[in-house]
Amino acid sequence: MLDFAIFAVTFLLALVGAVLYLYPASRQSAGIPGITPTEEKDGNLPDIVNSGSLHEFLVNLHERYGCVVSFWFGRHLVVSLGTVDVLMQHINPNKTSDPFETMLKSLLRYQSGGGGTSENHMRKKLYENGVTNSLQNNFALVLKLSEELLDKWLSYPESQHIPLSQHMLGFAVKSVTQMVMGNTFEDDQEVIRFQKNHGVVWSEIGKGFLDGSLDKSTTRKKQYEDALIELESILKKIIKKRKGRSFSQQIFIDSLIQGNLNDQQILEDSMIFSLAGCIITAKLCTWAIYFLTISEEVQKRLYEEIYQVFGKSPITPEKIEQLRYCRHVLCETVRTAKLTPISARLQDIEGKIDQFIIPRETLVLYALGVVLQDPSTWPSPHKFDPGRFDDESVMKTFSLLGFSGTQECPELRFAYMVTTVLLSVLVRRLHLYSVEGQVIETKYELVTSSREETWITVSKRY
């Protein structure tokens, strides 16, 4: 139930009322600055809707009231933290739960994550090791898929407008499905089928549960449930096929099987990684390439690093670790795009942030999208400047927020590596350009994206 509450905070509207009303709460705000309820029943829900997204609502709230603010979901007090300093007072690095995983499991009604601390820690380690092993064992696959995309782009005339978001999603789906589920997904028809079902499920995560419209449409709800059942059916077949057998290609599912998880746990973790891995990888690739198209000097410096490390020699996992500036480009992409703008925890016991007391069972939001644009932490916060990460203290701050180092979520770690390989392949051979006159509007959900397709053009370097 606590996990479901965390999910509801992020997805807001229809589900938030049903869940949070289950927690009795006082109308006292514990003296924390903020706004009073707009409506008795819904609290500040109308204000959030009018703002366009929870992230945009929090930006305004923190601008008005400071780094620790409060508002109301129904009758339930919510506290939001909006600077690095106050977040550091609340973040517990020993927590075994991943908020992204927690929210998706809550949505999918998965229940097997409710074990004790020791069991959850073991399962988290298996999950992380599965990601690490799948990357190490399938580097050649990621390189092959990247080179296939390069060949496709090289075949286009220089005036050809390329639908970047569409191509990055296709690339991410191919990468994730083959590394999670194996060579079944070398077949393009299987990939297309998976992508279609993934699209149905994820679109409802982003919209149908957000505005409550899914439950109002019998047709859409059936399409969502059918797509989810089909995805689970594929995973169940692969789990059954690979149990007790040895294969030349080691994939994510194999690590979970070898860890002696039961079939339901393997299914859940494979589903979570398939959903989250696809979308985070696709959006990181999309935003990184887009920012390169509008940042000529950054693209030039990245090309120089790639050429210095590889020349015209093959791209290898050993040498790719030397791409320090490329990693800074990806960190700055996450920061500038506000890739995952909200995270959340439930206050287990009464706590204190600065001079404010946070009551037990208060939902605490980490307004990461606010923090990542805070000028006191990030000078010229709206400027895309990977060079800021040359400063080790800046990278340390970024790591403390969970976007790098030991605290980064496994899906983001996976996305960093896959995107690094892709950029190494593309930038070494291509100039990347934005389409003149294009205006990119941002859509803030669980993962940030552009509202419309992002178009680019390319030309050959050699």
Q: What angle do CA 217, 222, 228 make, to 5 degrees?
A: 130
Count Cβ atoms below 10 Å from residue 297 Cβ, excluding itself: 9
Residues whose CB falls within 8 Å of the CB of residue 266, separated by 6 or more in sequence, listed in order: 239, 253, 256, 257
Q: Give 334's contacts (C-beta < 8 A, 6+ positions apart).
A: 284, 340, 372, 403, 412
Question: Are the C-beta atoms of residues 89 and 364 closer than 8 Å to each other?
Answer: no
326 labeled binding residue: no
B/e letters for 214-242, b = 16+ CB within 10 Å, e = fewer, are beeeeebeebbeebbebbbebbeebbeeb
Give me the sheet containing 363-366, strands edge to edge: 68-73, 76-81, 363-366, 343-346
Q: Where are the alpha helices (DSSP H) in 217-367?
A: 218-242, 252-258, 263-293, 296-310, 317-320, 324-337
Structure tokens at 437: 């006159």
The DSSP symbol for 217 reads: -
CB-based burial of residue 58 (10 Å sphere; 0-12 exposed, 13-18 middle, 19+ buried)?
A: buried
Place of tokens 């552009």: 450
Of 15, 365, 54, the C-alpha closest to 209 is 15
Dihedral sign computed on CA atoms, order 313, 317, 323, 327: positive
**Who contacts 63 (Cβ-Cβ below 8 Å, separation ≥6)?**
none
How big is the CA angle at 349 (ends 348 and 353), to the nearest 5 degrees? 105
Instruction: Please state, in angstroms and rounded to a whole number, the distance separating the CA atoms of residues 371 and 366.
Output: 8
Q: Tell me the C-alpha distance between 49 and 56, whole Å.
A: 10
Cα torsion at 339, 342, 343, 347 (round to 10°)?
A: 170
Q: What are phi and psi of 351, to 5 degrees?
A: -135, 180
Greatest Cα pair distance in the chain: 67
Closest CA to 428 of 324, 315, 329, 303: 303
The binding site consists of: 409
The binding site for heme consists of: 409
